[in-house]
Every structure is written in structure tokens, then in C-alpha cells.
Amino acid sequence: MDAQKQLQARSEEFQALQTELEVLVDARQKLESQQQENEGVQTEFAQLDDESNIYKLVGPVLLKQDKSEATMAVNGRLEFIEKEIKRIEGEISATQEKSEKMRSELIQLQSQAQQQAAAASASE
């Protein structure tokens, strides 16, 4: 019975870890799409001549912006996104490692519980 309880607690922990992993992967995907969008803007800016007018949407209004300013903003964003992706990837691999460990633990507990159940039914 003890093994059963332990097994349940452990598998709940494992589930929690899995959802955590899912959230992280989602965040990673979101960052990736943001990165792609920003890269598109960056290449677009690179093709523009210096006197083209660039506007930035702030709330409901368009504000005129310098090309250098806009390029800097996009570059800064890309840098930030890159860092975020690295950070999240680190977290993902750490969580994966943890869940891998927990999985093998769970399998062990499961076989233990099965053995106990078998022993209990044999002694009856």
C-alpha cells in the first residue's frame, strides 16, 4: 500500500513536470515566431534607402521614426529574443533531464508496487 501511495505522489509530480515542459516549449515557439517576424523587418530595413519614411504604430497612431532609431530598436529586440531563447532552451533541457530521471524512478516504483501486490495476493 505504501508503494502505491508513493507511486501516486510521484506520478503526480511527473505530470506537473510534463505540463511545465509544455509551457516552456510553447514559450519557445512564441519566441521563435517573434524572432522570425523581427528578422523580416530587419531585412526589410536593410533594403531601404536612408531617406525612406518609417512609422511606428504606437497605440492607434503612427509616429514617424528615424531609420537608424528603428533599426536599433529591431536589433535590440532580436538580441533580447536570442537571449530569451537560450535561457528557455536551458530550462527545457533541465526539465527534460529531470523528467527523464523521474520516469525511470516511476518505472522502478511501478515494478515494486506490482511485486508487493503479487506477494500480497500470494500470501492470501
Partner 1 sequence: MSQNTDGAPQGSINLASLSVPQLRALQTRLTSELEHLTTSHTKLRAAQAKFRDCVRSINDGVTGNAKKGTDGRDEILVPLTSSLYVKGRLTDREKVLVDVGTGFYVEKTAPKAVAFYDEKVKGLDANLQELEKIVQTKSSQLRIVEETLRQKMLSEGAPQAAAG
Using CB under 8 A, list all residues that contact partner 1.
34, 37-38, 40-41, 44-45, 48, 52-58, 62, 65, 70, 74, 77
Measure the CA–CA gap between 39 and 73, rounded to whole angstroms.
12
Cβ proximity to partner 1, 43 vs 123, nearer residue? 43
DSSP code of residue 52: S
Q: Give the nearest distance from C-beta 48 to partner 1 in angstroms.
A: 7
Measure the CA–CA gap between 59 and 52, rounded to whole angstroms.
22
DSSP code of residue 32: H
Cβ proximity to partner 1, 83 vs 101, nearer residue? 83
Q: Give the nearest distance from C-beta 52 to partner 1 in angstroms.
A: 6
